[in-house]
Amino acid sequence: MKNVFLCGVAALALSACSPSVPDSGTGVGFEDYRTYSQRQLDAQRQASSQMTVQPPTAVESRTLDDADTRAAATAAAQNSGVAPVEASPSNPAPQVVTNAAGISNENNFEAVSAERDIQADAALIAQNRAQYQLITPTDLPPRPDSDAPNIVEYALRTTNPVGVTLYKRSGRYDGNRISRACGAYNSSDLAQEAFLSMGGPDRDRKGLDPDGDGFACAWDPAPFRAARGG
């Protein structure tokens, strides 16, 4: 019996000397960790509410204004000279375009459906097909059977520019004589045809080509040569 009593006393002594296991829910100096976290959060909120924002100085305000002005000018230059619209809740709502000029209703399914249905479209397509005309190409018409000189062929056959003398001319040519000779024809083309039909360019019976370049009056072969490509 005495041994049992001594063992009990020893067990009590050992339990009193062993360290106690701390509670994981308690915090440092507080009741528990949740209370500690809440107090830390309240302290941060209080510190944030006590912070004050210092207004910018006059130099800082002027610098910001200049930067805004330069940014607005750059944006306006990139927007065809129109200043951009600043985004703000106070801006009026944009107007809704229901039928802008120049935009076909063919792109609007509701508008097309209101105008005609599928059967009407089919009838319109059939009507357009009935109006098609198939043109078959034909041969070029033959040249008129005439002995008159062809000034187009003459222009393409020659290479000299206007004013370059190729043919010898004799006789006296003055301005009045040339004006009277060329004035007898309604156009320079008719004068050139007459000039070629009367022996030109070698001979000039009526004084239509006083400089001997082979071109009568003001006729110029350049347009015909240009149409050929050279």
| DSSP labels, 79-132 | TTTPPPPPP-TTSPPPPP-SS-TT--GGG-HHHHHHH--HHHHHHHHHHHHHT-
Confidence of residue 21 (pLDDT cuts 50, 70, 90): very low
**H/E stretch holding 73:** helix 58-77
**How far is residue 84's CA from residue 76's CA, in Å, rounded to a whole number?**
6
Confidence of residue 157 (pLDDT cuts 50, 70, 90): very high
Which residue from 13, 42, 20 is spatially nearest to 30, judged by alpha carbons?
42
| Domain regions of the chain by residue span | 151-228
Least confident of 11-20, 82-91, 98-107, 119-128: 11-20
- The answer, yes or no, to whether residue 13 has pLDDT greater than 80, is no
pLDDT digits (tens, 9 = 90+) for 168-188: 888 777 778 888 899 999 999
**How far is residue 210's CA from residue 178's CA, in Å, rounded to a whole number?**
8
Q: Which two tokens stand for residue 156?
A: 């393409």
Which residue from 210, 190, 187, 212 is spatially nearest to 201, judged by alpha carbons?
212
The set of residues, in sequence order, having a beta carbon less than 8 Å from that of 111 and lying 6+ positions away, is 105
| Cα 36 from chain centroid (whole Å) | 65
Q: What is the pTM of this model?
A: 0.39
Angle in degrees, CA 111, 112, 118, rounded to 5: 150
pLDDT digits (tens, 9 = 90+) for 33-76: 677 777 888 887 777 666 655 666 665 666 666 767 777 777 66
Which residue from 152, 199, 204 is spatially nearest to 177, judged by alpha carbons?
204
**How far is residue 9's CA from residue 52's CA, in Å, rounded to a whole number?**
67
- The answer, yes or no, to whether residue 6 has pLDDT greater than 60, is no
3-state helix, strand, coil in the chain (%, to 5): 50, 0, 50
| Cα 88 from chain centroid (whole Å) | 30
pLDDT digits (tens, 9 = 90+) for 124-135: 899 999 998 888
